Structures are given as structure tokens and as C-alpha cells.
Amino acid sequence: MTYLSVIIPAYNEKENISKGLLDQVVEYLNQQSYTWEIIISDDGSTDGSVAALEQFAEKNKSVRVLRNKHAGKAQTVTSGMLNARGSWRLFTDFDQSTPISEVKKLLERAEQGFDIVIGSREMVGAKRDKEPWYRHLMGRGFNLWVQMVAVPGVLDTQCGFKLFSEKATTSLFPNLVVYGKQARFKDAFTGAFDVELLFLAIKNNFSIREVPIKWHHMRTNRVSPIKDSLRMFRDLLKIKLASLTGKYGRQP
């Protein structure tokens, strides 16, 4: 039985592959006493990076590559999480803005009985590095809305470093509505995917714990601050509407 599955969504990652980021993840996991696997879930990359990823997997027996049609990060992460074999399943960003070594903090909380443990950049003890002030301000503003509308008490829903038990994974990911199978995004938009997951987790009485982590801002041209913010607010309202109209089912 695999203890930890690490799911890494990928989309046109040729530049990041050349930085040796995957080697760093493998090196860390090789030093651990538990069993593990890495699933690189590709979102229909078009830059030739899939071939490089598959070559990497051939050299590392605990690494698998999933080929998915381009449908956006939510579907790509979901594919990886549901194809995983681990008792615990972490999804983390390819650029390793939160280094894989931070998983130790999450696993410690998981072993204390929490179903879901999420990295937080807002808790006391967290370290944020080189983030533009306007990105931080936008994130704080969005989180205020998230707490009022969908996920009260969670300080940072958007950090891409989250650990789920096998039970939480199989209960939550197939039941997403706004970011479910019908949702397909043609760009790199991430949106309120994490919010819907945590909203559904609370609705179904899964225990959630935030943990302060180290996080380094990585510059990217994949984020459109104004456009993406508007889309996230729209999807937040969709989540609330889906709940009000009973699309998530009756709470136990």
C-alpha cells in the first residue's frame, strides 16, 4: 500500500523541466521512510514537454505520467488525485513555489486525525517571499469574500499545496459541480477550484486543518490579475448558487 501520492499538474512545462524541479522532488521523497509515488498529470501540453516527462518517468519507477485532454487545472488535478493509490494524496504546483519538504508539516497534522490538511500563506509562522504587493492585496480581498460566502474560518484557500486522505479524495473530487467533469477551461485559469473542494468538504463534515508553510512567488504570464479575479468572483457565486439549488445534495 502506498502511503503518499504526490500529484503534480503540468501544462507546457518545458522551461520548468529544465530547472530540475522534478529531480528535487524525487530526491526528497527518496530520503523518506514511507512508500510514495509521483503522478504528473498533464493538461494536454503542446510544447513537447510530455515526451520529456515520460522520459523522466522511465528513469524513475515511482513516477507516472497521465495524459489528459486540455481542460484546465481543476480537471487535471482531479484526474491525478483519482488515479492515485496513496492513503494520503498531495497536490502541489510544478514550479515548487511551496517546496516538497513542507509536506512533512502536513503529514504530521494528518496523523493527528485530520482528513484534509492545507498549506497556508496567511497563518502566523508562514513565510511569503517576493510576492508583489498587489497580488497579496487581491488574495486577501478574495479570501474575505470566500469566508463570507463559502468557506468560513479558512485563511488561505488558494495555496496550491493540499493534502487529502483517500476517503476525502474519493468523496469530494467526483462530486464537484462548478469544476466538475463538464467544466473545461482552454487557458491556464485555476479559479475557485480549491474553494469548491473545501466548501464541499465542510458540507460533508470532513475535518480541515491549515498549516503555515514557506512559499516563494514565481513570476508567470499565466495569470491575468483583473480578468482572473472577475472570473473567480463569478465562480464563487456559482458555488453558492449550486448549494442553494441543492446540486451538492443533502448534508449528512
Domains contained in the chain, CATH given: 4-244 (3.90.550.10)
Would you state the pLDDT for residue 146?
78
Weakest-pLDDT range from 121-130, 185-194, 215-224? 215-224
Would you state the pLDDT for residue 174?
95
Would you state the pLDDT for residue 52?
96
Contact by Cβ (8 Å): 7, 91:
yes
pLDDT value at 224 more than 90: no
pLDDT value at 221 more than 70: no
Weakest-pLDDT range from 28-32, 144-148, 166-170, 197-201? 144-148
What's this model's pTM, rounded to 2 decimal places?
Answer: 0.89
What are φ and ψ of residue 6, in 5° steps? -110, 115
pLDDT value at 171 more than 50: yes
- DSSP letter string, 125-175: T-EEES--HHHHHHHHHHHHHHHHHT-TT-S-S--SEEEEEHHHHHHHGGG
